[in-house]
Structure formats: structure tokens, C-alpha cells
Amino acid sequence: MWGAAGAAAGAVLAVACISAFVWASRKIEAMEAFAKRFDAESAEILGAAVIGPPSLIAPGLRQSSSDIETNMRAAEAVFADFETIVMKPLAVGATYKCNLKELDRVREEIRLEYDGDGSLVKDLCRGLVVCDSVASLQAACEALGELAKQGVVKICQIKNRLRDPPEGSGPTASGYRDLNVNKVTHVWS
């Protein structure tokens, strides 16, 4: 029914499918090899060190309002203090960056992840501390603990991928590790 042209098209399609499968298999193998290497090097660097607080999940965590404009204005109002009072002290021997989440990303997140509920967006004021050594990472963790002890911040949720379960979340599938404080409530005013 299809003749020679159909047979040729089928052969081209089969070769394309096999090529795509081989390509994907090689990519997966490369990612698995990278993850193993990353895990081995992480274990070598971290050793038996227990870094950062254990993971802490707060399932009911939410903003006081579901109105995103209200929440964005509140985040904008505290951003300068967030940088000065929270982020700078955490960057002991490290670098930091902080910003406000972009409104377009907030709307997308509400639509895709939170079923239209704006009160579930947790990271409007965002900060990142980049540590280039275990010592600077431990210093940042200690500084965060000190800010909490002083009542400057209230830590509500932590995802610690530096610790393995049950104390932490463990690395991602690709071997990536970090310490993610998902929510630090503004309490310094």
C-alpha cells in the first residue's frame, strides 16, 4: 500500500528514533556519572561534618494575604532592611545576592504551582549566600542561628540538602547539594 516511498520513510523514522534513543541514553549515562563524581567529591569535602540545621518542613506556611500586590508591596517595604540586617551578616567570608522576585514569575508560580492561591508564594524577598569553603558555609549557618537566637528572624522552613535523611533532604538526583532556608519571616521592625 505504501510502496517504496513508505518503506524509505519508515526506515528514516526508525533510524531517527534509534539515534534519539542512543543520544538520550548517553546523556543519562553522562548525568549519572557526573552525579556519582559530585557525590564522591562532596563526601570528600564535607567528610563527617554535620553542616547546618536539620530540615524543617512547615506544611501550612503562607503569606498573611492572598493578594499578590499587597504581598509585593510588603516585600518591597522591607527589602533594604532584609539586605542590611539579614543578608550581609550571613555572608561571613562569602558573597551574597538578594532581590525581589519578579511579578511575572510570581504570577506564573501562583498559576502553575499554587492553584491560584497567592498566599502560598514564600520567597518574595530572596537572598543567596555563595560559600566557597565548608568553613564559610558553617560560618553562614552559625550567623543565621545567631540571628534567630537574637530574635532578628524567625526561621520557618529549611531544606538542608547537605545532610542525608532523616536529618536532611539529601542531594538532588544529579548530586547537587545546598542549604535552602525557604522562609525567614520579617520580625525586625
Most confident residue range from 32-46, 108-122, 152-166: 108-122
Residue 51: pLDDT over 90: no
CA distance 69 to 87: 24
**pLDDT (average), residues 75-83:** 93
The model carries a pTM of: 0.71
**pLDDT (average), residues 40-48:** 73
Residues 142, 100 contacting (CB under 8 angstroms)? no
Name the packing angle between helices 103-113 and 68-81 (round to 10°): 130
Give the pLDDT of residue 132: 83
With CA atoms as reference, report the closest residue to 144 among 78, 88, 80, 98.
Answer: 88
Residue 75: pLDDT over 80: yes
Residue 179: pLDDT over 70: yes
**pLDDT (average), residues 3-22:** 79
Residue 96: pLDDT over 80: yes
